[in-house]
Chains A and B, each alone.
Chain A
């Protein structure tokens, strides 16, 4: 589920979604802000496959585990871009 599998297409894999979240993380944002930005981006690219909020949170967890994001004053911040 982190990477694409036979049944999990790339745009539903956590790594891909994490990449999409990072792409929109130019400035510190709230969890809700990141969620809305992701939804907007996916709509724009015609990616209709469902991504639930739970799945989005798992993608955030992955980014945090990889050390690419951290929480600062309740906001999500890209590491090295604070």
Chain B
């Protein structure tokens, strides 16, 4: 991929999805990636009526593989082990053509031993079947080989480096309009916010790709500022800042920070984007708000932490 910003954005999206998405959201993401990689060879299976999904979350036709996805937000070990046994038995029973059974999970730190033992037992008891488990890194590997067109199908339109250079105030106007400011609360007295600090990226535990994206977006911070300066409504800048500040505070209250918070704030700005130019303008606006400290926190004066 030639455009570095788009590359960072896709890598960030692929990693974030595997950390942030749980339960059906994770399953939907798995299906999106599999469809992008295998096309019509992979069939997304949706639960239907009282029969549910018949213990199959996705099916690969060429290899007769049944995929079972399990990505709960909280792990109950006993439940997990019994689920593996139940899901496999059900799949074996209901999909007689099955040659492989793959258990897809969201455990980044590895499988608990009891779970692995349950999988090995299934493998031992069913020597004619291919039994395997896919950790999140396997899905990450699959996205790494996708074409740009396929990545757009999974993750939407990326911001682009060459668009960043060409942005103008009209693009920022569209990004601001997308915020639908009338829906945000704003109190004129609550705008005494701190100024930006160089250690902010570290302090807010942003990983490599969001850091690069913010750095790329900040290149257009002066242009964004110019847009606000020339807007007929002098209060617009404060209203945008406060709207996003409120969103940020909401996330903090929920315990959401770092990359995930960055992703959700980006989604808020870029909710209505339909192309890369708009995505790029959304990133420029977000980076401006980061620099001006409307979103994320400045490190305390005595903080001397290092990069996340």
Contact = CB atoms under 8 A, between A and B. Distances in A.
Interface of A: 1, 5-9, 12-13, 48-52, 54-55
Q: Is the interface of A mostly helix, strand, loop or mixed?
A: loop
Interface residues of B, number: 19
B238 A55 contact: no
B230 A7 contact: no
B191 A6 contact: yes
Given A5-B238, A7-B241, A49 B232 contact: no
B191 A5 contact: yes
Nearest to B194: A6
B191 A50 contact: no
B151 to A, nearest CB: 35
A8 B238 contact: yes
Contact of B229 (A1, A5, A9, A54): A9
A7 B238 contact: yes
A50 B235 contact: no
Interface string B224-258: 00001111101111111100000000000000000
Contacts of B236: 7
B258 to A, nearest CB: 24
A80 B141 CA distance: 78
B230 A12 contact: no
B192 interface: yes
A6 B230 contact: no
Contacts of B192: 5-6
Contacts of B241: 6-7
